Amino acid sequence: MRRTVTAAVVALLLAALAGAPAAANTAATASDFYVTYGASYIRGTITWYNRSADVDGVVHAVSECRRASFTAMSDYELTDAGVSPEACPGTDTSFSIRLSIDVIGGIDAIWAKVDYRQEGTWHTAIKRDRCGRDGCVTYSDPPALTVAAVRFVIKNGLDHKCMTAVRSGDVDGIPYYWIDGRPCAGSSSQAWTFGGRWGLGLVNVASGQCLDFNDYYTPLRTKPCTYEAGPGMTQQQWTDNKVAYRLESYLERRWCVENQYVNGVYLGIHATTCNAYYRMQEWYQDAA
């Protein structure tokens, strides 16, 4: 009798397992995206799985050929990308794209973008959706850094902490501040404004000093504002990349501000080589 009951239980378990879908293929949720470019648009749905996502939609083109492009990102700085077939004037083109990042946590966010062709080369429009498992948000004028803002905080795209000036002592009687990522609290040490010629200096409200770097091995700091930028000088001129949401050195665009993690260990905010869609280098502006 015992063997019969055990066999029956095993048979029931096997039957249940055979009928159950694999965990990796179970959709957690879905997000709808809609991005316009003039009268053209891309529209569709992202279905999220544990370590992948299916992107299904349509490209609607009016005056010129258009296509949809997608970039998936993870907290491990891995990416995946996909592009739809193009749609030309007066047509709708459907697409289905699988994006996958095979790490714990899978895909964290997906950019949905409209591409347009100019002189035979594809370009990406600034307006785009940033989609997560809880929905999509449209960015039309990137909230990175705009001169129109008087005071603002600067949030990182990876951990959403704010760029903060942390006093670490005095040097020759001048207060010395390191730049660190801290939870956003609305303090003046996290408030920034623009200054200097052409508004390229980034001034911390609490210290009254400018964001500055002169090497690539130590965290960024603030120093008294000189607004210099040149070989052998400190670097105090910055500009925002409205496509990649990066804060770049104005003199050498290959250097970007990065909220740096290595193997999960936080190392502070540095200037380092720019990397497209590298989430530690994404920065967003909000009111202070």
Whether the per-residue pLDDT at 150 is higher than 90: the answer is no
| Predicted model pTM | 0.52
Return the minimum-mean-pLDDT range out of 89-103, 112-126, 130-144, 259-273. Answer: 130-144
Higher-confidence residue: 112 or 126? 112
Higher-confidence residue: 131 or 197? 131
Higher-confidence residue: 130 or 58? 58
Q: What percent of the chain has pLDDT over 70?
A: 76
Return the minimum-mean-pLDDT range out of 155-164, 245-254, 277-286. Answer: 245-254
Please report the pLDDT score of residue 232 as a whole number. 47
pLDDT tens readout for residues 198-217: 567 888 999 888 898 866 66
pLDDT tens readout for residues 56-104: 999 999 989 999 999 888 766 677 899 999 999 999 999 999 999 998 8
Please report the pLDDT score of residue 228 as a whole number. 62
Please report the pLDDT score of residue 130 as a whole number. 85
Tell me the domains of the chain and their CATH numbers.
24-139 (2.60.40), 152-287 (2.80.10.50)
pLDDT tens readout for residues 245-267: 778 877 666 688 998 888 878 88
Whether the per-residue pLDDT at 244 is higher than 70: the answer is no
Higher-confidence residue: 136 or 241? 136
Higher-confidence residue: 170 or 47? 47
Distance of CA 281 to the CA centre of its chain: 7
Residue 257 in tokens: 């501000």
Whether the per-residue pLDDT at 146 is higher than 60: the answer is no
Residue 146 in tokens: 């705009």
What rounded mean pLDDT belongs to the chain?
Answer: 79
Residue 254 in tokens: 């290959």
Q: 126 near 243, Cβ under 8 Å? A: yes
Higher-confidence residue: 116 or 55? 55
Higher-confidence residue: 24 or 257? 257
Please report the pLDDT score of residue 5 as a whole number. 35
Burial track 194-217 (b if 16+ CB lie within 10 A, e otherwise): bebeeebbbbbbbbebbbbbeeee
Q: 126 near 157, Cβ under 8 Å? A: no
Please report the pLDDT score of residue 41 as a whole number. 97
Kindly write down the DSSP assignment for every residue of the chain, as one continuous string: -HHHHHHHHHHHHHHHHHHSPPGGG---EEEEEEEEETTEEEEEEEEE-SSEEEEEEEEE-SSS-EEEEEEEE-TTS-EEEEEPPPB-TT-EEEEEEEEE--STT---EEEEEEEEEETTEEEEEEEEEEEETTEEEEESS-SS--TT-SSEEEEETTT-PEEEEEEEEEETTEEEEEEEEE-----GGG-EEEESGGG-EEEETTT--EEEBS-SSS--EEE------STTS-B--EEEETTTTEEEESS-TTEEEEEEEETTEEEEEEEEE--TT-GGG-EEEEE-
Please report the pLDDT score of residue 9 as a whole number. 35
Q: 124 near 69, Cβ under 8 Å? A: yes
Tell me which long-range contacts 20-25 makes (C-beta under 8 A, separation of at least 24). 23/50, 24/49, 24/50, 24/51, 24/52, 25/49
Residue 90 in tokens: 């007066």
